[in-house]
Amino acid sequence: MAQKKIAMDISTKANYIVITFTGDLEYGVIEDIKKDLQALKLETKHGYIIDMQKVTNIDSTGFGMIVNFAKKVSVNEKRIAIIVVDDFILNLFAISQCDKIFPIAKSEDEAKQIIKEGWSGELSLSEY
């Protein structure tokens, strides 16, 4: 069985920050990434785009990491949009109901528009 891996890349744009994950956001492989994500002290005008186009799997630990980051970001009244293009990952978002608290975009342009204009989900972070 191949060893699972995860990587995180951060790219600062004019009015937002893109956090790109590659690999498996799962228990046992995301501990260092989770610490790095929580330690980020990034300033942005509009918010954050989490790019999950290269994510191959995500479990409850991965969703928890994203929710905790979103709570940290929301304190500063910044927004988050998540890019998901894979049907399997989209299905996991639906099963976990994370698609009700985060806007899901198909591209960076769509995500950029969401964080600029806002989005209202079926559930708030505090209700999740």
Q: Which two tokens stand for residue 28?
A: 């046992």
Beta strand pairing status for 79-83 and 104-105? parallel
Q: Residue 98's pLDDT is what?
A: 93
Least confident segment among 23-27, 71-75, 79-83, 113-117: 71-75
User: 47, 78 in Cβ contact below 8 A?
Assistant: yes
Q: What distance separates the 2 farthest-apart alpha carbons in the chain?
A: 44
pLDDT digits (tens, 9 = 90+) for 86-127: 999 999 999 999 999 999 999 999 999 999 998 888 878 777
Q: Residue 59's pLDDT is what?
A: 93
Measured in whole angstroms, the distance separating CA 117 from the mean position of its chain's CA atoms is 18
Task: Give 107's contacts (C-beta < 8 A, 6+ positions apart).
Answer: 83
- Helix (H) or strand (E) holding 4, with range, is none
